[in-house]
Amino acid sequence: MVFPAAPDVEQPARVHHLPAALVAALGTGLLVLLTAQLGERGTLVAVVVLQAALVAAWAPASGIRGGVGGTALGLAAALAADLLLVLPDRPELGDLLAVPGIAFVAAVLHQMLRRAPREDVVGSLAGTLLLVCAVCGLAVLLRLPDATGGERSAATAALVVGAALVAGHLVDVVVPRPQVAAGIDCGVLGLLVALMAGVAVAVLRHSPGGLADTLSSVTVGLVLAGVAALVGLAGSYVVAGSEGARRGRAAAAPVLQAVLPIAACAPVAFALALHTAF
C-alpha cells in the first residue's frame, strides 16, 4: 500500500518530542524506583510529584483562559483525591467521583468570577475539568492491587506506558510518517512502535509460562500502550492548538504530553489488575 506524501514537518515543531520522551522516562523511573524502594509511600511521593508537575504545566501548555483559577482548582483536586485514597483505613475508589463532581461546580463559579469579557468560556471550563480528571486518574495509582511476587502493579503499568511513550516520541523525532493529521508532527509508524514496545515490556515483566499467560500479557500491553499512544496524540493536538506565545510553554508542553497519558492509563491499569495479574 502506498501512502500519499505528507507535507514536511518543520524541525522546530518536531523538537518537542525529545523533551516529552525524556519527561516520560523520568516519570516512569520515579514511579518504578520509589515504589520498589519505599512501597506505597514511594508510590505516593511519585504520584504527588507527577500531579504537581501536570498542574503547573497545564495552563501554559494548553493555553486555557483563566489559568490561575484552573491551576488552583487542579491543586485542590489533586490534594482531595490523594487524601480520599490515603487517609481511610479501607479506601474506596468510588469516593473519587466526589472530586470531579464538586470541581464542576467550582469551575462554574470560577467562570462567573472571571473579568468580562469572558473569552473562550467553554474551552476554559473544559480544560479545567480535564485537568481535574487527570489528577484524579494519577491518584488511582495509589490503589492498584498488589501483583504476584510482591511487586506492585503500579510499577509494571508505569513501565509499559513509559516504554510506549518513549518509543513513540523517539520514532516521531526521526520519521513522523504517515502523518496523522496536518499540523500534527505525529506519524502512524510512531503509534505502531509504541504498541509493540508496550507489548514487549508487558511480556518480559510477566515472564509467562503458557499460552494463557502470554495472551494475558499481550492484552495488557496492547491496552495500556494503546491508551497511552492515543492520549499522547491528544496531548500533541492540545499543544499544537495552544497559543505559542504563552510564557513557559516550551518547558510545559512536554510535561503535558508525557504525564497526561500516564494519568489516563492509571484507571485502565486498575481495571486490568482486577482481572489479570501483571
Bond preceding residue 261 cis, omega within 30 of 0: no
Q: Is residue 6 part of a domain?
A: no
Q: What are phi and psi of 10, to 5 degrees?
A: -65, 145
pLDDT in tens, 181-199: 887 889 999 999 999 999 9
Q: Is residue 120 part of a domain?
A: yes
pLDDT in tens, 58-96: 999 998 999 999 999 999 999 999 999 999 888 889 899
Angstrom distance (rounded) from CA 241 to CA 35: 36
Q: Is residue 7 part of a domain?
A: no
Residues contacting 30, CB < 8 A, separation 6+: 46, 49, 50
Q: Is residue 2 part of a domain?
A: no
pLDDT of residue 71: 96
Q: Is residue 20 part of a domain?
A: no
Q: Is residue 204 part of a domain?
A: yes
Taking residue 120's Cβ as centre, other Cβ atoms within 10 Å add up to 13
Angstrom distance (rounded) from CA 80 to CA 74: 10
Q: Is residue 19 part of a domain?
A: no
Q: What are phi and psi of 9, to 5 degrees?
A: -95, 125
Q: Is residue 16 part of a domain?
A: no
Confidence of residue 16 (pLDDT cuts 50, 70, 90): confident
Number of domains in the chain: 1
Higher pLDDT, 3 or 122: 122
Domain containing residue 187: 27-275
pLDDT of residue 213: 77
Angstrom distance (rounded) from CA 86 to CA 143: 9
